Structure 1
Amino acid sequence: MAQQLRGNDLRELGFPEGRAIGLALAQLQRKHLKRLSQTDQLALLKLILQTPTNFLTDLDWSHTAAALLPPPNRHIELTARKDYVTFGSEYIEPGAVHQMETAMKLPVTVGGALMPDAHFGYGLPIGGVLATDNAVIPYAVGVDIGCRMALSIFPLPPQYLAQRVQELKAVLLATTKFGNRDVFRHGQKLGHAVLERDEFATIPFLRNKQETAAAQIGTSGGGNHFVEFGIVEILDPTNEMGLPVGQYVGLLSHSGSRGLGASVANHYTKLAMDTCQLPAEAKHLAWLTLDSEGGQEYWAAMNLAGDYASACHHQIHQRVAKALGERPLAKVENHHNFAWKERLADGREVIVHRKGATPAGAGVLGVIPGSMTAPGFIVRGRGAAESLSSASHGAGRLMSRTRAKAELGEADVRRHLQAHGVELIGGGLDEAPMTYKDIFAVMQSQQELVDVLGTFTPKIVRMEGGV
């Protein structure tokens, strides 16, 4: 085992006084680095000191490297607030508005919009849309990268649900897993090409993430994530799904990129905050430029996490379809908590962050859910420039999780579900229907953003717990 290096050894090497020395010494205490000889440790530290930018996304050394960067680019002042458009302002809490106002003061901000389901979050509010110039903000994307809605529409009549409640509850219990501990076991797992992606080998931070991703593939997270059977009603005969007007059985799922996305979000947010130091009120809006190594790696990791989230949904729907012995007539999938390269009307390329907001470009299909007892809406985007071609991603929270647990009673929630003919497996008071805004009011506030093609009314809902 190498003799332990001390601060003076690093100072002699050329390390400046400050955080970098402490961070480096702490890293050298990790088991795999402790095994290196003192000569090898010093050689590694010298290399980091000479080229810190090469180590900004290294799993071991990103924070040390960031602390070695010169200060001029690290302290950034906010600018005058740019204009943005708010939809359904009467339904949005002041905290979310304040967060959006702060985001519009970033020097990299080009434009923004606030959706009617907006509520307070970390960094950008949930329901916030932000366009930036050559910059990606991990916390404006969100922790659950690529979280999405996926809908399968089956050639089954709506009465099928009422006639086979227990059978369909058993299908959901057998084909879905929720949370971090409940995963599919060996022999139950389905493979997927996303697990073989090069990013797991080429991005240093992801090299130890493949095993967890493989364990959680095809599963859903906790919180507000769900898989549910319901009644789809197609209202618009001109719909792009090719379905006649009428009612069908649908399967709707909501979940994201699991532990993979969360680890990517947290790692690169810390990296961004180390290299882009903003005033306290804006610190969670730290960004990475797309021409930096850290920015390029986050962009690749974000896209991988989004594709992984999609793969999870595809496996869920594949399992359920097999259990039903049916093939879907149509599918609709849309995601939020993501960033896209898009062009504004004036031709400028920008990075559009949609944190809890649905892409609503002209002709783009999506699903905007309500709650367990309120319908969701199948929509077609209208490409409205004022919303940066976006719409809400749901009804939005009316009540915080803490308040819901303190104020709501299980008996009242059960009665509410029974009154609406909804069967619930799992779930908690923090996801009760009354914790969400009125989806009809939300949709009324964004009529110019989307056209409604149909509805989805939940009937058998599966969430974390209940087994």
Structure 2
Amino acid sequence: MKTITGTELIALGYKPGKWFAEALAHINENNLSEDEMSIYLEQFRLPEPLPLHAEPTEFIINIRAEHESEVDNVEKVINTMNTLMKTPTLVAGAIMPDACPTGPEGHIPVGGVVVAKNAIHPGFHSADICCSVMLTDFGKANPKTVLDTAQAITHFGYGGRPRGEQMPMSDELMDAFRKNFFLNDEKLISTARSHMGTQGDGNHFLFIGISKNTGNTMLVTHHGSRAPGAVLYDKGMKVANRFRIELSPDTLKENAWIPFETEEGQKYWEALQLIRAWTKENHESIHNAVLQKLNIEKQDRYWNEHNFVFRDGDLFYHAKGATPLDDKFLPDITGPRLIPLNMAEPVLIVQGTTNGRNLGFAPHGAGRNYSRTFHKKSLAHKTVDEIFAEETQGLDIRFFSNEIDISELPSAYKSAKNVRTQIEEYGLCEVLDEVMPYGCIMAGDVQKSAPWRNKKKYRVRK
């Protein structure tokens, strides 16, 4: 009988792949007839490419321009959602009052929630997987003492902690990483160990405030999964793009997905849960170290992600900066949820559930109307010290790098008042308490004094 080669398979309409060698060996070793070969090969036939939806899948708009400065932002958010919602997997969506675009049209905006059927879209959770907030109630502790202690313990900026200052990563979690296809990487695990107890840069913070209801001092941290999450995102996007090329080449690369029913989908979902566990442990390591240093027992603690993928049966809710309210999304969560606004505004403690407008989510913060660069240019007529003094009066605001970052000061964000008004107007959630600001720590302008900004000076210092 004639030996079948790859040329015959290509002639039958099959795209060359790793499976060719195994299939050819099976066909030739078993001397399959033409009909038998046709039946056997059908399992390898790719489905017809999925086209984009002709019209955007319907989504809910929970945002409106309160001021002329917000008009352009709202228009861009709606336009990007109109393009995004043509992605074949999407069945529902919503945008929150803090929404703002994050890239070219068609990319999911911050403040966006989209629901995909049997699909995980890495681009929809982005590199900052499981960006989240945790609150610990310190009782009647002095807020300045807590802030001073926390400053000596936490770590902001690029990279991880130096050797000798690292916080331990649990053995259980390291073992779980090693058993996962996406996370079984010793370099990644080493990075996860060094990044434990770190908060990164950008809009991440350590906030101290006083409960409006109880008068207790509260510590709130905001950060995500740091470099381990970024590495997982990069791996996930590469896998998703391979599926995109086969399943839906018309889909934007950033909107590619991993089918959940595939082996890759199952392993990626598992990896997301492990990165979530790492991030929670990261928050806890900082909070517990401050409690231990002050010899204080915590009164209460709760946390939630606002940048993650949540599952309900065969539906995957992708929240790009949106606070999950419905308990079905967070089976291990007890207590209310947290919505920080800006360093001069209270952190909102909220509760809620799924209703006709929110898909089970609320805003995650205040969002931005303008880019960081545009905001800095708009304040060029003032000195950094003048801006800082005006916007942080009465607050204890500290920057870990000792370089003020004006793109993180209150004026860089949308009006917190407007966001709160729209939360109430659209019935998104209920505010239970407010953590009134005392002070906070952020990374600061880590670019300003970065070694690569002055290579000559850096070389001399080395």
Q: Deviations over 1:403-427 (max 9, x none)?
A: 1232334123321244242322245
3-state SS of 1:446 partner: helix
Q: Residue 184 and residue 459 in structure 1: after superposition, are their counterparts in 2 closer, same or farther (change >3 A)?
A: farther
In the alignment, does 2:266 pair up with 1:266?
A: no
1:173-212: per-residue Cα shift (whole Å, max 9, x none)?
3210112335153365234245324243331553231111
Distance 1:188 1:221, change over 3 A: closer
Name the structure 2 match of 1:93.
Answer: 74
Which residue is equivalent to 1:174?
152
Q: Look up the match of 2:414.
A: 437
Q: CA offset at residue 155 of structure 1?
A: 1.2
The one-letter amino acid paired with 1:139 is: G
The one-letter amino acid paired with 1:360 is: L
- Check whether the contact 1:361–1:384 (CA below 8 A) recurs between aligned residues: no
Match of 1:219 among 172, 182, 198: 198
Question: Which residue does the alignment assign to 1:392?
Answer: 363
Structure 1 counterpart of 2:350 = 379
Q: Which residue of 2 aligns with 1:79?
A: 54
Distance in 2 of aligned mates of 1:205 and 1:223: 25
In 1, distance between residues paired with 2:62 and 2:407? 26
Alpha carbons of structure 1 residues 75 and 423: separation in structure 2 relative to 1, 3 Å: same
Match of 1:136 among 110, 120, 125: 120
2:108 pairs, out of 120, 124, 139, with 124
Instruction: Output one character per residue of 1:33-66: Cα deviation in whole Å (capped at 9) or x when no partner.
Output: xxxxxxxxxxxx99665479xxxxxxxxxxxxxx
Paired position in structure 2 for 1:419: 393
Matching of residues 349-388 of structure 1 within 5 Å = 349-361=314-326, 365-388=336-359
Counterpart in 1 of 2:35? none
Q: How does 1:33-52 map to 2 (within 5 A)?
A: 50=21
Aligned 1:278-427 pairs, distance under 5 A: 282-342=252-312, 349-361=314-326, 365-408=336-379, 409-426=383-400
CA distance in 2, matches of 1:175, 1:249: 18
1:233 to 200, 209, 212: 212
Residue by residue over 1:354-387, the C-alpha shift from the partner in whole angstroms, topping out at 9 and shown as x without a partner, is: 1100001269621100101111200011322431
- Whichever residue aligns with residue 285 of structure 1, its letter is N
CA distance in 1 between partners of 2:412 and 2:278 (Å): 29
Q: Report the aligned-residue RMSD.
A: 3.0
Please report how far the alpha carbon of residue 462 of structure 1 lies from its aligned counterpart in structure 2 after TM superposition. Answer: 1.2
Deviations 1:134-172 (A, max 9, x none): 111111122111110101111116xx23xxx4x545422
1:192 — aligned with what? 170
- Runs (5+) with no aligned partner, structure 1: 1-10, 17-44, 53-68, 235-245, 344-348
1:299 offset after TM fit, Å?
1.0
| Unaligned runs of at least 5 residues, structure 2 | 11-15, 24-43, 328-333, 447-462
State the secondary structure of the residue aligned to 2:317: strand
Pairwise CA distance, 1:232? 1.8
Report what 1:32 is aligned to.
Answer: none
Whole-angstrom CA distance in 1 between matches of 2:185 and 2:315: 30
Partner Cα distance (2:282, 2:96) in 1: 27
Any idea what the Cα deviations from partners look like across 1:297-328, whole Å, max 9, x if unmatched?
Answer: 22111111111111100001001111222122
Distance change in 2, residues 1:182/1:290 (3 Å): closer
TM-score (norm 2): 0.77
For the 8 Å contact 2:87–2:251, the answer to whether it is kept is no
Matched residue SS, 2:252: helix
Corresponding residue number in structure 2 for 1:4: none
